[in-house]
Amino acid sequence: MSLRVSELRVYYRTLKGEVRALDGMSFDLADGEIIGLVGESGCGKSTLGKSLIRMDGRMHHVGGSVELDGKELPIADDRRMNDFRFKEVSLIPQYAMSALNPTRKIRKMVGELLKSRGAALDAAELERRMDQVGLPREVLDRYPIELSGGMKQRMVMVISTLLDPSLLIADEVTSALDVSTQKAVARALLGFRDSGYVKSMIFVTHDLALTHHIADTIMVMYAGKLAEKAPAHVIVKAPRHPYTKLLLDSLPEVGVRYSERRLEGIAGSPPSLLHPPAGCRFRDRCPLAGDECAEEPPAVEIAPAHHVACWKA
Amino acid sequence: MMLRLDDVTKEFRIGAFGGKTVAAVRSVSFDVVPGEVVSLIGESGSGKSTIGRMILGLNSVTSGAITFDGRPVRGAKEYYRHVQGIFQDPFSSFNPVFKADRVFAMIKQSYYPAVPEQEWAERVRSALRDVRLNPDQVLGKYPHQLSGGQLQRLLIARALLLDIKLLVADEITSMLDASTRIDVLNLLAELKTRGLGVLYITHDLSLGNYLAERTVVLRKGGVVEMGLTDKVFGDPLHPYTRELLSAVPRLHEEWGDAAAVDTCLYHERGAAEGLLEAEPGHFVACAQLESC
């Protein structure tokens, strides 16, 4: 088992009180597995990604534990986490454009970064990995401003994985890219896993269709909790949680003729996480909601590797 | 014919003293008729937003002409009575220190000063109901108290209060969640039954496919393919359109590679300028193969 997250709770401190962005998440991630983490804005998916590598000042760890390759990650301790960052856990941030130091040429920046981690730059290895994502060698002697968005994104991918981390968190890495670049970046990510540069990956996104092409397992979050987790094709073909079903039904696709046929959205909006309601958090928007939903549904394994948190599943 | 673009070109001056020019839009011609949604599809830098801004009179046209009901576009008050734009970021479209419904009061002030308060309030409420908003939930709120979907719908309601004929919707759903985005799209689809023309600018092919009768595919400022959505998406002729379509992740299909284009239909049929009408209502540009 590569990563084991149990009952993780991370809240944000605000003037009005605590926002329960991540409220009891548990899941396992195996070696070589890519988990696609999907959900709408504010569901806690980015909070989960951030918690595993660096919590910002407003976040605090309320409960639960994270274990990576048998060792507990000290996620609440910013200083101790430093030993894990980049080597064991690494991140590809959403805005690669602003992740690179604008005053350094790429080669120098990579060298400095590795030095700060006590590692030496293996130029041949770096170039091999750049070839793999289709970046020309000249990129190393350029400033970030001279690269396009897709090139910067791929450069950051190469840099983030240089020390072969066990876990890679890819946070919305393709959402600022054009469709054709998105495909190249997504395939490069798969290549990294297949070449063993990273053992396992959490691919955070809001795009279900894209996740389906990358992830082995898809995990759907709603309002700080796990709604459903299953192999990617099961989520797409046979979802059991009403939220997953409605979400899939609201996605327009190319290759389908709609003419006058209309899809439907999900009425209402997610609950405030400042004072989340008791019971199932999807209850107010759920067409199947009944009396038992006043009690919180546990995540149950209804079929092998298929977990659903719903009384009606 | 309501909106017509005729050979429209836009050049921007760049460089320290504006010494160089870059063509953002190159000889684009198409039209939008009442009661239809036309989607303008392109990747970043394709010039799609520049076209939207030119139609709204926010950018000048370098050459060519944009006409609305036969008259050239001027960014004048009467023009905006009929043509309105909605943009990507709903949070920056509103003044954060004013209550969101102040946009309605501003419409009354400049366009309908003679309408009595009572009647105006009723019009506002009915426009809000038209966009599936509960007036009591949104009136009197500040923008930060409303969701992105609610704000975008407020802007559509604002346009409906005017004598609107054409709506330019520039990426209006790209900041919304999947579950609420579809409601805004359905609303746009409904507008066309009222006889409105909608120019829907997007980078997302699946949304264009869902909504539009006709599609215009742009690349680097020029049209590569346009026509009925069914034809452009069902039987793409240009290699670029095929590449775009194959790059869209689909739920029930594997990611394939685009089928290659062997011969350039444009040159094969002997077209020399503009676009080739490959079949009725389906236009394509040169495939730019090596043999061209």
Q: Which residue in chain B has the smallest CA separation from A177? A: B44
Residue A256 near residue B209 (C-beta atoms within 8 A) = yes
Give how far A234 is from chain B: nearest CA, Å: 11
CB-CB neighbors (< 8 A) of B209 in chain A = 252-256, 258
Residue B227 lies in a domain: no
Split at pLDDT 50, 70, 90, the class of B1 is low
Nearest CA in chain A to B204: A179
Quick one: pLDDT at residue A119?
Answer: 87
Strands A200-205 and A34-38 turn out to be parallel
Q: For the segment B66-102, what is each residue's pLDDT rounded down to a tens digit? A: 999 999 988 788 999 999 999 988 888 899 999 988 8
**Non-local CB neighbours of B280 within 8 Å, separated by 6+ positions:** none
With respect to residue A160, please indicate whether it lies within any of the assigned structural domains. yes
pLDDT score of B8: 96
The pLDDT of residue B193 is: 87
Mean predicted confidence (pLDDT) in B174-196: 88
**Number of residue pairs across A and B with CB atoms under 8 Å?**
98
Q: Which of A251, A259, A286 to mutate to test the interface with B (most CBs of B within 10 A)?
A: A251
Same domain, B214 and B240: no
Running DSSP on this structure, what letter comes out for residue A131? H
**Rounded distance between C-alpha atoms, residue B235 and residue A311, angstroms:** 45
Final residue in a domain of this structure, among B220, B249, B269: B220
Return the residue matching tokens 């003044």.
B95
Smallest Cα–Cα separation from A113: which of A160, A53, A63?
A160
> Phi/psi zone of residue B287: left (φ > 0), alpha (ψ -120 to 50 degrees), beta?
alpha
Q: Are A36 and A203 in contact (CB under 8 A)?
A: yes
Query: B228 lies in a domain?
Result: no
Is A258 domain-assigned? no
Instruction: State the helix-helix crossing angle for A179-194 and A123-132, rounded to 10 degrees.
Output: 130
The answer to the question of residue A110 being in a domain is yes
Are the C-beta atoms of residues A239 and A35 closer than 8 Å to each other?
no
Q: Provide the residue type at A312 as one letter.
A: K
**Lookup: tokens for B208:** 């264009």
Phi first, then psi: what are they for B197, rounded to 5°?
Answer: -100, 140
Minimal CA–CA distance to B205: which of B45, B41, B10, B17?
B41
Pick the residue of B248, B253, B254 with the most A CBs within 10 A to test the interface with A by mutation. Answer: B248
Q: What local confidence, expressed as pLDDT, does residue B157 receive?
A: 93
**Which positions ≥6 away from A131 have C-beta within 8 Å?**
none
Of B29, B53, B31, B51, nearest to B41 by C-alpha is B51
- Asked if B251 lies within 8 A of A256 by C-beta distance, the reply is no
A15 burial (CB, 10 Å; 0-12 / 13-18 / 19+) is exposed
The three-class DSSP label of residue A211 is helix
Ramachandran bin of A5, using left for φ above 0, alpha for ψ from -120 to 50, beta for the remaining angles: beta
Q: Give pLDDT, residue A59.
A: 92
- 163-182 in B: which are within 8 Å (CB) of A? 177-182
**Burial class of A164 by CB neighbour count within 10 A (0 to 12, 13 to 18, 19+):** middle
Report helix, strand or coil for B163: coil
**How does pLDDT run across B210-233, given as a tens digit for each residue?**
999 999 999 999 999 999 999 999
B43-79 in b/e form (b: 16+ CB < 10 A) is bebbbbbbbbbbbbbebebeebebebeeeebeeeeeb
Distance from CA of A171 to the nearest CA of B (A): 16
> Environment class of residue B272 by beta-carbon count within 10 Å: exposed (0-12), middle (13-18) or buried (19+)?
exposed
Q: Tell me what pLDDT residue A66 has.
A: 96
Q: What is the pTM of this model?
A: 0.89
Distance CA B289, CA B239 (A): 9
Residues of A in contact with B253 (CB under 8 A): 255
313 residues of chain A, pLDDT tens digit each: 789 999 999 999 999 899 999 999 999 999 999 999 999 888 999 899 999 999 888 999 999 999 999 999 999 999 999 999 999 999 998 877 788 999 999 999 999 999 998 888 889 999 999 998 889 999 999 999 999 888 898 999 999 999 999 999 999 888 878 888 889 889 999 999 999 999 999 999 989 999 999 999 999 999 999 999 999 999 999 999 999 999 999 999 888 888 778 899 898 888 989 999 999 999 999 999 999 999 999 999 999 999 999 998 8
User: B104: which residues sit within 8 A by CB, 6+ positions away?
Assistant: B124, B157, B158, B161
Q: Which of B34, B33, B51 is nearest to B42 (CA)?
A: B51
Residue B259 counted as domain residue:
yes
Pull the structure tokens for residue A95.
């805005």
Torsion of CA B113, B115, B118, B123, to 10 degrees: -100
Contact A178 B203 (CB under 8 A): yes
Q: Would you say B38 and B200 are in contact if contact means Cβ atoms under 8 Å apart?
A: yes
d(CA A93, CA A301): 32
Both structure tokens of A173: 């890495």
Beta-bridge mates of residue A35: A202, A217
Give me the number of domains chain B comprises: 2
Is A123 within the bounds of a domain?
Answer: yes
Residues B233, B238, B240, B243, Cα dihedral to 10°:
60
Q: Considering its fold, how many domains does chain A have in total?
A: 1
Chain A residues in contact with B210 (beta carbon < 8 A)? 252, 258, 263
B108-132 average pLDDT score = 93
CATH number at residue A214: 3.40.50.300
For tokens 């290759």, the residue is A255
Cα separation, A274 vs A17, whole angstroms: 7
Instruction: Please identify which residue in the block is written with the tokens 């000290």.
Output: A74
Range of the domain at A130: 3-252+263-308
Compare CB distances from A182 to B179, B211, B247 and report the shortest one's residue. B247
- The H or E element containing residue A45 is helix A45-51
- Smallest Cα–Cα separation from B173: which of B163, B187, B161? B187
Look at residues B220, B248, B279 and tell me which one is the last residue of a structural domain: B220
Q: Would you call B189 helix, strand, or coil by DSSP? A: helix
Q: Residue B275's domain spans which residues?
A: 236-292
Residues B201 and B250 in one domain: no
Kindly give, in sequence order, each residue whose CB lies less than 8 Å from that of residue A108, ignoring residues fewer than 6 positions away.
none
Mean pLDDT of chain B: 91
In a domain, B211, yes or no: yes
Closest C-alpha to B247, from A174, A64, A5, A137: A174
- Taking CB atoms and an 8 Å limit, are B179 and A250 in contact across chains? yes
Residue A27 resides in a domain: yes
Across B189-195, average pLDDT: 89
**B193 touching chain A per CB within 8 A:** no
Residues 210-229 of B with CB under 8 A from A: 210-211
Per-residue pLDDT of B22-48, as tens digits, reads: 999 999 999 999 999 999 999 988 999
**Tokens at A212, concatenated:** 């389906």
Q: Residues 6 or more apart from B45 whose CB is under 8 A from it?
A: B220
B257 in reach of chain A (CB within 8 A): no
Examine the domain organization and report whether B125 and B173 are in the same domain. Answer: yes
Which of B220, B248, B272 corresponds to the end of one domain? Answer: B220
Q: Establish if B225 belongs to a structural domain.
A: no
> Are residues B102 and B205 both part of a single domain?
yes
* Residue that the structure tokens 């890495």 belong to: A173
Whichever domain contains B75, its CATH number is 3.40.50.300
Are B52 and B147 members of one domain? Answer: yes
Task: Answer for the pair B261, B239: CB distance below 8 angstroms, yes or no.
Answer: yes
